[in-house]
Amino acid sequence: METRGRVVVVTGGAGGIGAALCQRFAADGAERVVVSDLNAQAAENVAADIGGLAVVADVTVESDVQRLVATTLKAHGRIDIYCSNAGIAFGGGPEASDQAWQQSWEVHVMSHVYAARALLPAMLARRNGYIVGTVSAAGLLNHVLAAPYAVTKAAGLSFLEWLAIAHHDQGLRVSALCPQGVRTAMLTQEGGSFLRAGALEPEQVADAVVEAIRDERFLVLPHPEVSEYFQRKADDYDRWLRGMRRLRARILEER
């Protein structure tokens, strides 16, 4: 799918990867870019920069997602590309609070579910539509310091896979964005030199997304090495686990 002339919605669009996606879609000639975020002023700022529309929405509230989709459909008649991009980061393991686990689940899984519920009727009726879900390399490879993040990102990836399996033949296209470190506020919050060393700029990630949409590829891997790591995991799971244990030990020693 080409992005020129498309109506695009980006959640988490006020900063980081989301803002870069909005700017890239606008630069590529999208008909309209809808910038959605919890932060009203930041969303307005991005929308003003690109001539887009700002819509405040909490992606963990289904009625907000329905309103976002309905507002865009009323204004433009269709949604061609929906980037379900909002994300949060909580570290720790089983000891992490119930709130951290629940909020991670709501943002990284249910936001995609709510989006699909709202989008699918019109997209399937038109036999045309694209959903891009921002996951993480952690959805493929886990995260040695952050169980709530890794577990829910893996669940989000699985849901996107399901959509691609169930509805491809009805015209729906799906991509899962799985970067490693990206120079955003979330990376600063997460910490850890192992992610910062090869971190990309959000604009580089947006470039990879647009390329994947044009090729209609499911996995979007801005860091090519993630494909190699994923292959190693599939080839020898136990060896991969040993390597991840060594990585975790090294990181903990550096702290």
Distance, in Å, from the CA atom of 109 to the CA atom of 93, rounded to the nearest integer, reads 18
- The sign of the CA dihedral 218, 170, 115, 45 is positive
Note if 82 is an active site residue: no
Half-sphere exposure of 82 (CA within 13 A, CB side): 30
Catalytic residue among 82, 114, 130, 149: 149
Distance, in Å, from the CA atom of 39 to the CA atom of 22, rounded to the nearest integer, reads 15
59, 84 Cβ separation under 8 angstroms:
yes
H or E segment to which residue 172 belongs: strand 172-177
Distance, in Å, from the CA atom of 93 to the CA atom of 98, rounded to the nearest integer, reads 11
Q: Which tokens belong to 36?
A: 């959605």
32, 5 Cβ separation under 8 angstroms:
no
* Catalytic residue numbers, as ranges: 149
